A and B are shown apart, each in its own frame.
Chain A
């Protein structure tokens, strides 16, 4: 070492080494505190809030068409949002949902695409996707064609009123007046939805809130942008 001038001097090495060690304990304490603190905050405050995000007591308590299919052990969320557009306009965006139906779930594409979902921003109604029947499918992911886990089948449909996917995932449109619609979404999460209860409640459920609320806001944003749009009309 004495014959070649080192780029990092012995003194600098010691300083850097001490510097790293100095922050080692605080780093792990901060990570532990963050995990415990956020978990408690999530369980006590955030989860009760997001499980009924935007919904009134009446909407949480009301029976929805897909309820009969909900398993008894499911953790059920009911979320709602007011959209200043006719039900026909909201419906036009709702049926155009799915990776295989125009390319998106109207939510956070950038987040879904971190998981190879291959979602695309959709900014126009495509008449091609306006027909939806029981038995049709909506893909959550680009692998939906080969992976049945990534597919939501339509199990009940009442045009411009009700869409139920799978076992009780209900999307209900309630017209408030000619130009305002209430979108109510109920989702039943089973404890083994994502491998086991810990992962279901700790990973899947909060992630589902982010994506579902993002979808509801995405539909609101698109429908209100052109509230006069009618079902099947191309922009």
Chain B
């Protein structure tokens, strides 16, 4: 444990801060990934003949930026919700790590983080399916993949990372 001596110990407030920051970072990271995907898809569409009037370059650049601006604005809005979810998740993880991982084993911390986030994700999916009647159909597949499945995968992975990070600080 002596190797961790220089790492400052983390309090509840700092833990919530880590979670919130991770949530906002994920929202923007997801938006950047979407922008990359949308730029490639729209470019392939626009390069299919016939070309637009005027310059193709102007249309391409305008389309790319017109895709990026709304995506970043929506990321900023969704980032508020992501920050709240991230902070709450981090607080739950810190409480669990203190109780069920007294030796601060990193693998166990990651397992706890992934398990908690996976449980929350599954609970959300059950709620949406049973409560709101959300179903996986060919018509909803793209929507659910984009707005639910991929964000939940990112949430679970981030949960493992935040748990590992908080555990590392608790071990200091």
Once A35-B72, A209-B66 are accepted as A-B contacts, the answer to whether A115 and B143 lie under 8 Å apart by CB is yes
Stretch at the interface among B53-61, B89-97, B117-125: B53-61
For B42, the chain A residues whose CB sits under 8 A away are 108, 111, 210, 214
Contact B65 A46, beta carbon cutoff 8 Å: yes
Asked if residues B70 and A7 are in contact (CB atoms below 8 Å), the reply is: no
Contact A202 B25 (CB under 8 A): no
- In this complex, what residue of B is CB-closest to A198? B73
B133 at the interface (CB under 8 A from A): no
Q: Type the 1/0 row for A216-229, where 1 means its CB is closer than 8 Å to any CB of B.
A: 01001100100000
> What is the distance, in angstroms, from B27's C-beta to the closest C-beta of chain A?
10
Q: How large is the interface on B (under 10, 10 to 19, 20 to 34, 35 or more residues)?
A: 35 or more
Taking the closest CB of chain A, its distance from the CB of B50, in whole angstroms, is: 6
Is the CB of B41 closer than 8 A to any CB of chain A?
yes
Known: A118-B139, A210-B42. A39 touches B69 (CB 8 A): yes
Kindly supply a per-residue 1/0 record for chain B positions 135-172, scoring 1 wherever the CB is within 8 Å of any chain A CB and 0 otherwise: 00001101100110000000000000000110010000
Contacts of A209 in B (CB 8 A): 62-63, 66
- CB contacts under 8 Å to A, within B1-40, are 3-4, 7, 25, 28, 38
The answer to whether B66 and A203 have CB atoms under 8 Å apart is no
Given known contacts A6-B105, A8-B107, A116-B140, A54 and B66 CB-to-CB distance under 8 angstroms: no
Q: Which residues of A contact B65 (CB under 8 A)?
A: 38, 41-42, 46, 206
- B66 contact from A17, A46, A82, A118, Cβ within 8 A: A46
A164 touches B (CB below 8 Å)? no
Give the complex CA separation of A98 and B3 in angstroms.
64
Total contacting residues, chain A, CB less than 8 A: 51
Residue in A6, A13, A81 whose Cβ sees the most chain B Cβ within 10 Å:
A13
A46 with B62: CB separation less than 8 A: yes
Closest to B146 in A: A114
Judged by a CB distance under 8 angstroms, whether B74 is at the interface is: yes
Q: How far is the CA of A7 from the CA of B164 in the complex (A)?
A: 13
Residue among B67, B142, B168 facing the most chain A CB atoms (10 A cut-off): B142
A149 within 8 A of B: no
Judging by beta carbons under 8 Å apart, are A207 and B41 in contact? no
Residue among A46, A84, A108, A206 making CB contact with B61, cutoff 8 Å: A46
Check B45 for interface membership: any CB of A closer than 8 A: yes
Determine if B129 is an interface residue (Cβ-Cβ < 8 Å): no
For the complex, give the distance between the alpha carbons of A80 and B52 in Å: 10
CB distance from B67 to the nearest CB of A (A): 6
Give B52's nearest chain A residue, CB to CB. Answer: A217
- Chain A residues with Cβ below 8 Å from B67 are 206-207, 210
Known A10-B3, A17-B165; judge A1-B50 contact (CB<8 A): no
Q: Which residues of B contact A35 (CB under 8 A)?
A: 72, 76
Q: A74: CB under 8 A from chain B? A: no
Interface string of A1-36 (1 = CB under 8 A from B): 100101110110110010010000001000100110
- Would you give 7 A-B contacts (Cβ < 8 Å), ordered by A? A1-B103, A6-B105, A17-B165, A35-B76, A39-B69, A42-B65, A214-B42
| 7 additional contacts (CB under 8 A) given A1-B105, A31-B28, A46-B65 | A6-B106, A6-B107, A8-B106, A13-B106, A82-B53, A113-B143, A221-B50
